[in-house]
Structures are given as structure tokens and as C-alpha cells.
Amino acid sequence: MKQQEPKQKSPAVAETRPARRRFLGAAAAGGTAIAGFPFIARAQPAVTNWRFQSTWPAKFLYQEFAVDWTKKVFELSGGRLKIDMLPAGAVVPALQIVDATSKGVIDGGHGLPGFWFGKNTAFGLFGAGPDFGMDGNQLLGWIEYGGGKELYAEVQAAAQIDAVSFLFAPVPCEPMGWFKKEIKAPTDLKGLKFRTAGLAVDMFKELGVSAVQMAPPDIVPALDRGLLDGAEFASASDDRIMGFPDVARFYLQQSYHMANNFCEVMVNRKRYEALPDDLKTVLKLASQAASADMEWKAMHRMSQDYLELKKNAKLRIYKTPKPILDAQLKAWNAVIKRRSAENPLFAKVVQSQMNWAKRVMFWHNEVQVGQAAAYAHYFGKGA
């Protein structure tokens, strides 16, 4: 049987239908109502603009991390929540952002919980205190699933801070610091003028150090002028930017003073409560996403910068001697005992962290294979 040829559309019909679609599309785009096709105006979503300030100078890696968080908030909110993250000093001095946020001078801020140690000693336990064997990520596990989040809100309330905080972004173990003379034993630390932060001030004082807290931009100038004999800040990345290699020669790696730190974003409570529920969820999820991204970026950037410092023949970079690390752990015992006796909330946080660490770190140490041996197998001990 002969197959029939399909009927061809007339040129007039073929031309008319696309033209009609183009006309309707253009008319709708121009806002023109057509009989039978009423124009429906779609309201653009309202945009909330916030102004935050961090504790970090503009060129620091941690300022970059803070800005990364704002980008994730913007993306996840579909552009409905836009946050301008200003660097330290743009509105208030770095360590005053907690008060500025609480009072609504700024909408929020980015820093470290340990910076607010002066408002309640229990703040020092959130990332800049005794680690009980944990790193920053493991302590964040306590924040999310061990009661830490609720305890942090309790500490904020005791300090009369009217803010909602997101604790996230584990900080790699921080170096013990930069010194103008070689440090070989605990006795070499006695009498040194040394900058650190948070509860670590107490720990170093137990070692006989004259320890003080100081905002990041002031540290290197103080070392340069001889007001300090040593100082610690964060990592090879920011330490390079700050200029530590120009004012100190001895750079000690590994320490128990800040082995489990993490970051904080705080939001003025009234501003936070005014948000719709979905944007509150965006802040939570953006913090979780930024936490993972910061950890990965830190691996990338800090390893590169550390290797660059190792190339500097003028520097002496070495691991903190074990007797000093052992002395740090004993010093933490004294700090915990004294501060717990002074502050029941401090004691409550310590006990909660120890309960978490005893279980989680037992499991971790039982199941995690040693990484140093595998690295030495493939690359050699001196790689």
C-alpha cells in the first residue's frame, strides 16, 4: 500500500503561529494587556541588607573566610539576604564587635568565641581552651550534638549579649608562636612578654609567661618595638601577611593553647528575629556549608604558605619540644581548677566537654589509623 505523504502546513499558517508567539511574548514583557491574556505583575522579592564587621584586617585569610560566608548566604537566599562584611576597625575596634552587635550598632560580626573571654571566662572554653584531645572539628561535634550550642547561648545570656550565634569553621591547630630567641624548654618561657588570646592567656601565665591579649593589627608593631618578646596569631598564611618573619626568627609549630578553635558569626537578636523562617534556615545552612569549604580552603592555602616560610633561610621553624607540651597540659589542669571554682558556668561547660571527649575521642583513637606512618611510607620522614 502506498504511504500517504504528510500534509504540509500552508505557508500562511507556518508563518503566523511563531509570529503570534513572538508578539504575545513581547507584549507580556512590555507589560501590555491583551484581550483574553491579562498581564500579571510579579513582585520582586524584598532584599534585606545587613552590615557586618569582622575582627580581621582586610587582607587576612580569615577576612576572606568571613566574606566567603556572606557569599553563601547570598546564593542560598536567592539574593534576598545581602551582607556586607567590613574588616576590623571599619566601624568599631576589632574586639568591640560583640558589644556593637548586641546593641545594634552593626547587624552582626565574625570572629572567635574566645575573644569574649573578658565578658565571661566560660567563653574561653569555646575553641581556645583545653582541648581534651580534640581538634576544632571534633569540638564542633560537641557544639551540634553534645549540648555545646545550648551552653553557648547560656554563656551569652549570662554576659548579657543580645545576639544569635552560629559556631562553625574549624581552625587548624595553631602554632605556638613566634619568638625572638630560641625556645627549648619550659624555663625559656619564664618572664617573656607574649601575646595570645582568650583563656590561653591564663595557661601561658601558669608557665611563667607575661601574657596579654591584643588585637591582630597591633601584634607585629609591638614585637618590632620590643614591647613583646613573642606572639602567636593564627597560621602561616596570616602570619606571613602580618609580617611576623620580619620581626621574629623562631617559629614553633604545635601547641595545646589553641588546638581546637573555630569561628563564630553573630547576629543582632532583633535583626535575626525579624527574618522569615526560611532565611533563618539559610543562615544555618550557609554556616554549615562555609564550615566545610573553609576547612578545605585552609588545607590548600595554609600548606602552600607554610612551605614558603620553610624556604626562608633566616627562619628557624621547628616543632614545640615535648617538655613544653607536657607543661601546657599541666598548666591547663591548674586553669580549669581555678576558673571552675570561680565560675559555676565555666565548670558546667568543662564537664560537658569532658563527657563528650571521653566518649568520642576514645572511639576516634580506636578506629583511626595513624597518618604519620603512612605519610612517611610514601614520602619519607623528611618530606
Determine the pLDDT at residue 119: 95
Determine the pLDDT at residue 234: 87
Determine the pLDDT at residue 383: 55
Write out residues in the chain with pLDDT < 50, as ranges. 1-35, 37, 39-41
Determine the pLDDT at residue 7: 46
Determine the pLDDT at residue 282: 98
Which burial class, exposed, middle or buried, applies to 364 when counting CB atoms under 10 A from its CB (0-12, 13-18, 19+)?
middle
The CB-side HSE value for 362 (13 A sphere, CA atoms) comes to: 5
Determine the pLDDT at residue 44: 66
Residue 69 CA to residue 263 CA, distance in Å, equals 11
Radius of gyration of the chain (CA): 28
One-letter amino acid for residue 239 of the chain: D
CATH of domain 177-259+306-342: 3.40.190.10
Residue 107 CA to residue 52 CA, distance in Å, equals 6
Architecture category of domain 48-172+260-300 in CATH: 3-Layer(aba) Sandwich (3.40)
Q: Quick one: which of 183, 216, 198 has its CA closest to 322?
A: 183
- Report the predicted TM-score, pTM, of the whole model to 2 decimal places: 0.85
A 10 A CB-CB count for 316 gives: 13
One-letter amino acid for residue 195 of the chain: R
Give the cell for residue 6.
504528510
Residue 124 CA to residue 131 CA, distance in Å, equals 11
**Contact (Cβ atoms closer than 8 angstroms) between residue 162 and residue 268:** yes
pLDDT in tens, 36-61: 545 444 556 789 999 999 999 999 99
The CB-side HSE value for 244 (13 A sphere, CA atoms) comes to: 32
Q: Quick one: which of 124, 65, 135, 115 has its CA closest to 301?
A: 65
Q: Where are the domains of the chain?
A: 48-172+260-300, 177-259+306-342
Residue 78 CA to residue 157 CA, distance in Å, equals 33
**Contact (Cβ atoms closer than 8 angstroms) between residue 197 and residue 265:** no
Distances, alpha carbon 286 to alpha carbons 240, 265, 338, 358, in Å = 29, 11, 38, 30
Residue 93 β-bridge partners: none
**Contact (Cβ atoms closer than 8 angstroms) between residue 106 and residue 144:** no
Q: Quick one: which of 108, 97, 85 has its CA closest to 166?
A: 108
